[in-house]
A and B are shown apart, each in its own frame.
Chain A
């Protein structure tokens, strides 16, 4: 009974924070609302028996990814707000299409017999998680490491070109 109440409170908080994150006019506010949504999701993962993922959600997502996003927002310092956001003809079509899609999916879920089953209160320990991760999915781990390396090279390529351009800009010609 307790966990049920906690689940619905967390679900309401996550949904509200996500809606605010998507619709907020200022980018910094949107990023902070998204961090609130991520913290709620971490609590929900803990409730759903994934303590390691809850910790990783806070450390990786809220800690690393969102800090990167916040720093880039501060670097861009866009003072202009999205003025055209709330003009009705611009957003009605996407929102209507999403509502239609969501209604269809929820109706489908209501008809599915497995959706009414109650979730068990199981718990996957980090040791269990790591054993399956590094035995059955070792190839996927290597692929993810390769992907992260490629992303690093790509980010350095774009960022490095930008630094070179900035260095060339003040003086004429530059040294290299």
Chain B
């Protein structure tokens, strides 16, 4: 591996900001979830690069935990999207404006 550490970090920054833009700009709830997933992947990439740079396996273990948390987040998020869609018939995040049960 001959690549400088900073290049991997720069790729992580680019990926994270791409995901953040997606989560902010898109209106469908599914697309907001995909933006959040892109952000989580950028975090995983930075953890793996840091593990290699400092020669410790701990960064890879935290990357594994991030993947597990992403799985939990997607399961609950998709259940919420489906429940909200069935209740109100809306798929865009701007249409969920009331918190009444």
Contact = CB atoms under 8 A, between A and B. Distances in A.
Contacts of A41: 41, 44-45
Size class of the contact patch on chain B: 35 or more
A53 B10 contact: no
Contact of A69 (B30, B53, B80, B83): B30
Given A110-B6, A148-B72, A162-B82, A18 B52 contact: no
Contacts, number: 235
B60 A53 contact: yes
Nearest to B14: A15
Q: Contact residue range for chain A?
A: 35 or more
Contact of A27 (B18, B30, B45, B78): B30
A56 B55 contact: no
Given A3-B1, A52-B60, A154-B79, 6 more contacts: A49-B52, A53-B48, A76-B81, A102-B17, A115-B9, A155-B75
Interface of B: 1-11, 13-15, 17-22, 24-28, 30-31, 33-35, 37-38, 41, 44-45, 48-49, 51-53, 55, 57-58, 60-61, 63-65, 67-76, 78-83, 85-86, 91
Q: Which 6 A-B pairs have the closest CB atoms?
A: A115-B6, A22-B22, A151-B72, A94-B24, A158-B79, A155-B79
